[in-house]
Amino acid sequence: MIRRLISICCLACCFALAATISLACLRIPSGEPELLLLRYGISDYPENRIREGGRGQMIPFAWDFYLIRQGDQVILIDTGFSEQYLPGYREMFRLTEYGEPVDLLARAGFAPSDITGIILTHSHFDHAGSLPDFLQSEAIVYISEKEWRGFQAVKRDAVIRETMTALFAQGRLRLIGADPFSVPDTSLLLEESGGHTIGSLTALYRDTERLWRFSGDECYTTDLCLAGIGLPEEACYSREKNRAAIDRMGREYQNHDGARIFTMHDRSGPVGGVGVYRFDGNQFLRTQ
Ligand SMILES: [Zn+2]
């Protein structure tokens, strides 16, 4: 009875506040979030393809994606790429170590069927190239509508496009517009940035203590982002939007205690090879 009364009060409260604080009634799970970094590859990569003003020397490069568990929601931020579906990239980019993303997930204790949502920061092979592994799951896939539309005209990586088309037909492809989008039942907010690709987006996890920005490829390393160094011309769809995204992430970092920037290709945090790394609130520690 008490529980029922609380529910009724909560409902009434929600209605009362709905006009002014629409987000207040979303069911946000409480408790500590769990954040894993899944490193599925390492290589070197030319500096001039990573940063503006870079030279031609090769620098250490990581191939990462993330998993956040919050309550009963298990969300991937990007998927890495599977050699099974996209043969050739491993050789082309000279990955010296590689693990199938789905195998890494298994090492972390997750099957594709455990994943409830997948955020795609953009449609490039190294971010969306394991999507076919999740076709049989019930995961909702979040992608910018502009990115999805733009990807229709791309000739390469047909397997990713076909998977997205199948997901769209199943009603499992959620298209994100220009307004920030809250991933249901989580503290994750998706925001279109459009600097790296036509519809690239960044994800923000925020609660009372944390402000975790997942940059996608708006910057390849956290240090570059914090130094305000943008992408080189050839890695930009829009230099202005890339600049705006980096400036915003830098300000966010400066202005909030507990702010962190997590990128997808940074070999400095964590330093290490293919494996599963758990965030302890300060750094990523290898678990598998
Ligand atoms: Zn990338």
CATH number at residue 218: 3.60.15.10
| C-alpha of residue 265 to centroid of ligand 1, in Å | 7
Query: Bigger pLDDT: 22 or 267?
Result: 267
Judge if 51 and 8 occupy the same domain: no
| C-alpha of residue 87 to centroid of ligand 1, in Å | 17
Instruction: Indicate whether 184 pLDDT > 90.
Output: yes
| Full residue range of the structural domain in which residue 273 is found | 31-286
Judge if 20 and 89 occupy the same domain: no
Instruction: Indicate whether 252 pLDDT > 50.
Output: yes
Judge if 13 and 66 occupy the same domain: no
Instruction: Indicate whether 210 pLDDT > 60.
Output: yes
Judge if 25 and 130 occupy the same domain: no
Instruction: Indicate whether 275 pLDDT > 60.
Output: yes
Judge if 168 and 213 occupy the same domain: yes
Judge if 266 and 174 occupy the same domain: yes
| C-alpha of residue 150 to centroid of ligand 1, in Å | 17
Judge if 108 and 192 occupy the same domain: yes
| C-alpha of residue 134 to centroid of ligand 1, in Å | 20
Give the mean pLDDT of the chain.
90
Task: Give the mean model confidence (pLDDT) for residues 261-285.
Answer: 95
Task: Give the mean model confidence (pLDDT) for residues 251-275.
Answer: 94
Of 236, 116, 233, 248, nearest to 185 (Cα)? 116
Rounded Cα gap, residues 51 and 242, in angstroms: 12
In angstroms, the Cα distances linking 161 to 33, 126, 171 are: 31, 14, 15
Out of 8-17, 97-106, 147-156, least confident range:
8-17
| C-alpha of residue 83 to centroid of ligand 1, in Å | 16
Q: How many C-beta neighbours within 10 Å does residue 221 have?
A: 24
**In total, how many domains does the chain have?**
2
Instruction: Indicate whether 17 pLDDT > 60.
Output: no
Judge if 21 and 36 occupy the same domain: no
Judge if 159 and 68 occupy the same domain: yes
Task: Give the mean model confidence (pLDDT) for residues 265-280.
Answer: 95
Percent of the chain with pLDDT over 90: 84
Instruction: Indicate whether 176 pLDDT > 60.
Output: yes
Phi, psi (deg, nearest 5) at residue 191: -135, 130
Judge if 23 and 166 occupy the same domain: no
DSSP string, 141-205: EEEEHHHHHHHTT--S-HHHHHHHHHHHHTT-EEEE-SS-EEPTTSSEEEEE--SSSTT-EEEEE
State residue 1's pLDDT score. 41
- Provide the whole-model pTM: 0.89
* Alpha-carbon dihedral angle through residues 107, 37, 56, 226, given to the nearest 10 degrees: -170
State residue 288's pLDDT score. 75
| C-alpha of residue 172 to centroid of ligand 1, in Å | 23
Percent of the chain with pLDDT over 70: 91
| C-alpha of residue 24 to centroid of ligand 1, in Å | 34
Could you tell me which residues are beta bridge partners of residue 65? 38
| C-alpha of residue 235 to centroid of ligand 1, in Å | 10
Judge if 220 and 193 occupy the same domain: yes
Task: Give the mean model confidence (pLDDT) for residues 235-254.
Answer: 95
Residue tagged 């049989």 (tokens): 136
| Strands 181-182, 140-144: pairing kind | unpaired
| C-alpha of residue 21 to centroid of ligand 1, in Å | 36
Judge if 152 and 228 occupy the same domain: yes
